[in-house]
Amino acid sequence: MDKNIVAFMDFIHYEKGLSTNTQAAYRRDLQKFVNYLVSERCRVYRWEDVNKKDIINFLSKEMDEGVANSTVARSFSSIKGLYKFLVGEGYIELNPTTDLETPKIRRKLPVVLSVEEVDKLMEQPDVLLPLGLRDRAMLELMYGTGVRVSELLSLQLDDINMMAGFLRCLGKGRKERIIPVNSTSIVWVERYLARSRNFLLRRNQERNLFLNAHGRKLSRQGYFKILAQYGEKSGIKKEITPHTLRHSFATHLLENGADLRAVQEMLGHADISTTQIYTHLSKSRLREVYHQCHPRA
C-alpha cells in the first residue's frame, strides 16, 4: 500500500481512534482512488500532482458506474481526510480538495419496525436453550438502548450497571457515552448471565458479555446471520438488520414525545442533523394516521 496512505491509516487509528470498520472503509476508498490514478497516469502518480479535476473525474466515474451516493460521498470524505493529513504533516503544500463540496446525498428513510413487529421478533428465540436465551437478551438490549452492533458486541461484563439501570459503551472515535437501560432488557440480560453465559464460557478470564457457541466474542457476521434468521422466522415482510432495531428505538422514542437532543445523546450522533431523519419518519407516521382517521382526508 502507498506509504502516505499507511501513515494516514496509522493516524486515524492511533490519533483519531476511529473504529476498525471505519478504518477498513477508508482503506478501501483510498485504494480504489489509487487504482484510478494509476490507470489514468500509466502507473505514475504523485499526491502533490493530483488536482481537483482528477478528484471530480474519479467521483463522476463512480457515479456513472452506479455506485451509491452515500458510498461516493464517503470516498470523497476519505480523500479529503487524506489530503488534510498530508498538508498538516508537511508532506505536500497544497490541498486539492479545498473548496470542493461533498456530493449531495439523497438520504433514504430507514426501515422501521412497528411496536407489534418488535414484539413478534422478540418472541422468536427459544429461551429454553442457552443460545436462544443469549439471543433474546441481545435483541432486547439492542432495541432497548439503540446501540450499534459493534457497540453491543464489544460490551464487557462491567459495562452494565443492573442496579442503576445504565449501560456504558464506546462509540465512534472511542467516545464514551452512558445510556439508560429499561427494566425489560435488564431482566433478560440477568437471565442470560444466570442461566446461559456460564454454559457457553470456555475461559474464566473472558470478559465479553455476549459469547458465541465456542465461548468467544460473537462476530458481526454471526449477529447479522442470527438476526436474519429470526426475521425470516417471524414472517415480518421487512429487511431486518441491526440498524433496523436502532432505527426503531429512535423512532419509537420520538413518536412518544422524547426530546430530539436526548435521542441524539443516546444514539451517539455527533451532529443532530443525523438524528433529524427520525423526525421525518415520525411525520410520515403522523400523515399516515391522519389519512387513515380524518373523515375528509
- CATH code at position 12: 1.10.150.130
How many Å is the maximal CA-CA distance in the chain? Answer: 69
Task: Count the alpha carbons within 13 Å of 290 in the hemisphere toward its beta carbon.
Answer: 7
Res 86 pLDDT > 60 = yes
199 domain-assigned: yes
Res 289 pLDDT > 60 = no
Distance, in Å, from the CA atom of 184 to the CA atom of 15, rounded to the nearest integer, reads 38
Distance, in Å, from the CA atom of 137 to the CA atom of 197, rounded to the nearest integer, reads 11
- Are 198 and 122 members of one domain? yes
Average of pLDDT values for 124-143? Answer: 96
119 domain-assigned: yes
From 149, 182, 184, select the one nearest 167 (Cα to Cα).
Answer: 182
Average of pLDDT values for 104-127? Answer: 85
Instruction: Specify the pLDDT at position 275.
Output: 76
Per the structure, how many domains does the chain have?
2
Res 134 pLDDT > 50 = yes
Is residue 297 very low, low, confident or very high in pLDDT (cuts 50, 70, 90)?
very low
95 domain-assigned: no
- Find the helix or strand (DSSP H, E) in which 168 lies: strand 166-170
Res 104 pLDDT > 70 = no
**Average pLDDT value for the chain:** 86
162 domain-assigned: yes
**Mean pLDDT highest for which of 10-24, 192-206, 279-293?**
192-206
Note the pLDDT tens digit of each residue in 158-187. 999 999 999 998 877 677 889 999 999 999
- Are 78 and 138 members of one domain? no
- Are 196 and 260 members of one domain? yes
Are the beta carbons of 100 and 76 closer than 8 angstroms? yes
57 domain-assigned: yes
> With pLDDT > 90 as the criterion, what percentage of the chain qualifies?
49
- Are 224 and 186 members of one domain? yes
Q: Residues of 96-129 as b/e, b for ≥16 C-beta within 10 angstroms?
A: bbeebeebeeeeeebebbeeebbebbbebbebee
The strand pairing partners of 179, in sequence order, are: 167
Active site residues: 148, 172, 243, 246, 269, 278
Res 281 pLDDT > 70 = no
For 264, the domain range is: 115-293
- Are 133 and 252 members of one domain? yes
**Mean pLDDT highest for which of 104-108, 156-160, 282-286?**
156-160
What CATH number is attached to the domain comprising 274?
Answer: 1.10.443.10
Phi, psi angles (nearest 5°) of residue 42? 55, 50
- Are 148 and 204 members of one domain? yes
State the burial class of residue 166 (Cβ atoms within 10 Å of its Cβ: 0-12, 13-18, 19+): middle
- Are 83 and 120 members of one domain? no
Cα–Cα distances (Å) from 104 to 64, 147, 185, in that order, read 15, 27, 39
- Are 236 and 125 members of one domain? yes
